[in-house]
Each structure stands twice: as structure tokens, then as C-alpha cells.
Amino acid sequence: MRTARPAGLSAELEAAVTALRHRGPNDQGTWEQDPMAGLGQTRLSVLDLSSNGHQPMVSEDGQLIMAFNGEVYNFAALRTELEALGHRFRGTGDSEVVLAALRAWGVGAVERFIGMFAIALWDRQAQRLLLLRDRLGVKPLYFGWDGSTFCFASELKALRAFSHWTPQLDKAALAECFQFGYINAPRSIYAGIAKLEPGHWLEIGMDGAPRIERYWSVLDALATPLQGTEEELTAQLETLLIDACKLRMVADVPVGVFLSGGIDSSLVTALLQRHAGTPIHTFTIGFSEAAVDESHHARRVAEHLGTQHTAWVMQPEQALALLPSWGQLFDEPIFDPSGLPTYLVTKMAGQQVTVVLSADGGDEAFSGYAIYETMVAKWRQRAAMPAALLSLLQAVLPRLPIEAADRGVGHLPLPPRWRAALRKHLITRARMLRDVVCAPSLGAAFEAMYSLWPVRDLRRLLGEVRSVREPADVYPGTPVDQMGLWDLHNYLPGDVLAKVDRASMALGMEGREPLLDHRILEFAFRLPVALRRGALGGKHILRRILYKYVPQALIDRPKQGFTIPLGQWLRHDLASMLDHHLAPDAIAAQGIFNPDEVAATLAAFRAGDERQVQRVWSLLAFQLWRERWL
């Protein structure tokens, strides 16, 4: 949308759309019939593969024009309602239904949608643009100004097509990225470009003043706790889960599921297979390094459920071959190394399916992360300390050379497993004690535990910075609620969902997230904490449901997570890449980081300080991004 039409904008719009061709390889279109606005879209055909799904899409009366990325899963029920109001449809997909719903019910239609979406709607009569983003932020949506033109896109690379925009680093976003490993809404890596926050809509007219409103928050659900017995609540949740999974299996292309063998993915797979007429496709990625390989657990679950299972072992050279294209894949810095196996397992699945379901969100909603319980226990111990002891520890612990001790362990002439045990039982515990004892609140301690580069270290790397996130304490509920809500609002959209979206859409694949159905999240945070965390740890109520379908012996084991042998790769296969990208002269010439801090971090890593693994990776990942985009 523009307040004055610059020359050459049509070509720029075409270029912006073409930059997103990977997100929609099946069709591409632009609409510019209004001199003050233009829309473009690339289409991944999943529902109604005919030309009836072509976008941008124009309403029956010609007033509204829509570009829509994502899926509204309950479109069939909405279609029935709209047909009763007199609307008629040409095709069988959800896009027509979404447009008709917005025409019939206005922006309030979004509250009826069950799905993931980023929507742009131009009203020719009112000369206003409406942007909508789904409740959890599954689908990305960036926006900003290029001179007199208001621009928006699913990825930053599309915005670079507009000639008047010069990319400049946002220093606060850069600090956020190195503190947490990702940049959450509303910031982006570039000054002047923002992300629309999940559960929000934006409206802007010819006056150029955007209005942003929140239409949903899971916090609203906390005000009405659920009542009922454990058996009743478990049955209610199972019904919701079945519906969420079945809705996300609707497609006119093949559908599969990522199966790790953990609680969440096993439950999603079990519910889908129970209600499917034929064996569903499941996919697992394994690793040649036994310490991080869980593929055998997934295979046993798949055999029990009777799925059509495909497993693939990722070799180090296959992941390393992706690194030169890391910056192209993630056009905003993200430092989660599991983006590598995520991309590769998605590529493998793409040989058989176009849509793949995953089980993200279960940890945040059902208290699955062990750190929640650990932090609460540590904070209780802190509260029970005599005041004199607490004061003494607060004075002494910051002065202990914990990081130096970590590096020293790496030089001890001990077997690797002994050094690992020393770090786990001595160094890690000392570091956690320091972070908990010296923190002003539980939320601050939680943030310190989560920080890739805590603020005190970040200042040495970037100069004067401050934490840009609200601590977990700002959220309501119990401490476990607060930490889960912090992750739901920060880590989930900023890291997990961004990683999955970029990896899947880069391959022309669609990822779907049944556990992020907003009805399930509202239900989860209204549950008593005891039903989320039980004797076996987190996800108590999910376990109860899963054990109906999969034997407990196949499921109960320590949570491992989607990890790769990053430290080993950095020390061996990537050593020369580190030398090149983190060379002191190159770092100094860029003027972004303190060269001395980068050199010290790299030296500590090579001396055996395991805490530096993620930091060194973050520096390398940023350099790969900078090389492509700055």
C-alpha cells in the first residue's frame, strides 16, 4: 500500500513475490488494479488444487482482495454457515471461505478461525489494509515502510525487493538474538521492520497511521479454571486432541507425521492412526552418533501403531553441506542448530508427502520441560536459606571462577565420560546455584538459565545492552504457569515455529501443529498444575491418554530433545570454517562485535569450556547470515 505511487513499483512487487517462490511453488499472482495498493502471493496447493484457489483472491462483490498464507482447518463448518447467509463458492478449498468470512463478519471473523495464517486484506472502498496473524505465530508476517510505501511479507527477503529500503541492523534486536538465540515479535533484525505479534491484527489507511489490536491471548483462559475429576478432564482433552488432529489431516495431497518416539509425537501419531483407514506415513531422522540418536525409539512406536514408517540417518557431511546456505534459509538470524536436521527430515518427508504434522507446543502447554520443576525447587531452597547464608552466597558466588573451572576440566587427563560427569555434577550445579542465588526473582533466574549470552557477558560482546524481554514473573499463575507462558510467548514463536516454517516452506512443504490448536492451549492452562506435572514429570494428562494407545514401556525414558553433536562438529569438521569466519581482522573490520571477546570465546571453547559451544555456533551462524544479507 502506498500514500504516493512511486515509479517502478509493479516490477518491485513482482520481484518481491518471486523471492517467495519457494513458499508457493505451484502458482504465483499479483493484483494491482487499485492505483494505491498491490498484493502478491505464491501458492502451495494443498486444498482444491484447481485454479479456483488462485490468489490474490477477489470477493464476490469486488470490494475485498485477499492474499492468504496458511490454513483455516474448520473451513467446512464455516462454509456451511456462510452458505446459509447466501454466499456461493466456486471451489472446495479454504481460501474462498476465509475471504467470504471476512466479508460477512469483518475482522471479528478471525475469532472463528481454527488454524495457522497470515492474511492481507485490501478494502477498495474504505482504502484500508488489514493484516492478521494467527494466535500462536505459526505463520510469519513482517511489515514496515519503504519510503511512502507500506510493505509486508512472509519473509524479509521479499522486502529487500523494494528499492528505497536500506537494511540496517536493529541493535536491540541484535542483542536479543545473542541473548536468547532468536528474535521475537515485534522486533526484526532490521531497524524499521517489525513482526506482527501472534494473536494481533493491524489496520492502516491512507493517513499512514497503523492501528494494532490484540484479538486473542491464552492469558484470558486462566481466569476460569477447569472443574471436574481427573478422569473427566482427561476424556475432554482426548476429544479435543482427536478433533485437532483430524482437522489437520484434511488435504488434497499426501499427509504424514514427524515421529520422534517421545510423548507428544507418539500421541499425535497414535490418535491419527487410530482414526485413519490406512497406515499413515511417519518420518524419523537419526544420527550416526549413538549418544544423540533416538530413531530406534520411534521405530518401536511406529511398529506398535502400524504406521508406514521411514527412518533416515543423517551423516555429518550432509548437515555440514547445508551450512553455506544457512543464511539463505534463515533470512533473519536464528541460532538453533536443530534447524539442520529439521530441514533434512522435512526434505526426506517431501519425497512422499506435501503436508507433515509435528507435535510442537506440548512442552510449553503441558509443563514438559524439566527446567520448570528444577527452577521451582531451587527457588524454594533459596527461600529456605537463612538470611545470613543467602547474603554470604550472594557476595561469594559471583567471584568464583566457574567458567575457568569449566575450561580446566577440559585439560584434565581423564576419560571423556568422567570429564562430562564433573561438568554435570560440579560445574553446572555451581553455575545454577549462582544464577538462582544472585537473581532478584524466579523470573530473572529463569531468564539467566535460558540466556545464551547473559547480559553481563553480552556487554563485553556488543557494548552497552540491556535485557529486552519481560521476565516470566509478569505472567499470572503458579511459577510453572509463568515459565510455560514465557516459553509460549517467546521461545515457541521466536525459535521453534520460525525454524519449522522456514525449513518446511523452503522445500515447498506445509507443516501443521495440532497441539497448537488454540482450544487445546486454553484447556491446558486452565488445568490444575498437578494434571500437567505428575510423579513421572511433565505432561501427566497427556501420558494418561497416550498409555491407552502405546505401552508405557515404549514411552517412559529421559527426555532428550532434538539435538545434534554440535561441539564435535565445531571442533573437527567446522574448525577451518571457524578460523575463517571468526578471524580477528575480519571481526574488527565488521565493527559489530568486540574482537577480543570473540577471540576469548573461541579460545575458551577450544580449551574445553562446553558452555561456549552454543556461543561459538551463534557467532558462526550470524557470520553466515551477515555474509548473505549485509
Burial category of 24 from C-beta neighbours within 10 Å (exposed 0-12, middle 13-18, buried 19 and up): buried
Span 220-367+484-554 CATH architecture: 3-Layer(aba) Sandwich (3.40)
Give me the residue label for grid cell 475469532.
Answer: 111
Average pLDDT over residues 503-507: 95
What is the share, in percent, of the chain residues with pLDDT greater than 70? Answer: 97
Which pLDDT score is estimated for 559? 63
pLDDT confidence tier of residue 28, bands split at 50, 70 and 90: very high
The residue with greater pLDDT, 559 or 306, is 306
What is the separation of C-alpha 318 from the centre of its chain, rounded to a whole number of angstroms?
A: 23
Q: Are 256 and 353 within 8 A, CB to CB?
A: yes
What is the separation of C-alpha 602 from the centre of its chain, rounded to a whole number of angstroms?
A: 28
Burial category of 309 from C-beta neighbours within 10 Å (exposed 0-12, middle 13-18, buried 19 and up): buried
CATH topology of domain 9-216: Glutamine Phosphoribosylpyrophosphate, subunit 1, domain 1 (3.60.20)
Among 89, 91, 70, 82, which residue's Cα sits nearest to residue 109?
Answer: 82
The whole-chain average pLDDT of the chain stands at: 91
pLDDT confidence tier of residue 3, bands split at 50, 70 and 90: low
Over residues 134-191, the pLDDT tens digits come to: 999 999 999 998 888 899 999 999 999 988 788 899 999 999 999 999 999 999 999 9
360 annotated ligand binder: no
Q: Does the predicted model carry a pTM greater than 0.85?
A: yes
Sequence spans of domains, the chain: 9-216, 220-367+484-554, 565-630
Over residues 304-315, the pLDDT tens digits come to: 999 999 999 888
Cis peptide bond prior to 186, omega within 30° of 0:
yes
Query: What is the DSSP secondary structure assignment for residue 555, as one 8-state letter?
Result: T
Which pLDDT score is estimated for 319? 80
94 annotated ligand binder: yes
Which pLDDT score is estimated for 6? 55
What is the CB neighbour count within 10 angstroms for residue 193?
24
Cα gap 65→59, rounded to integer Å: 6
Bridging pattern class, strands 281-287 and 308-314: parallel
pLDDT beyond 60 at 4: no
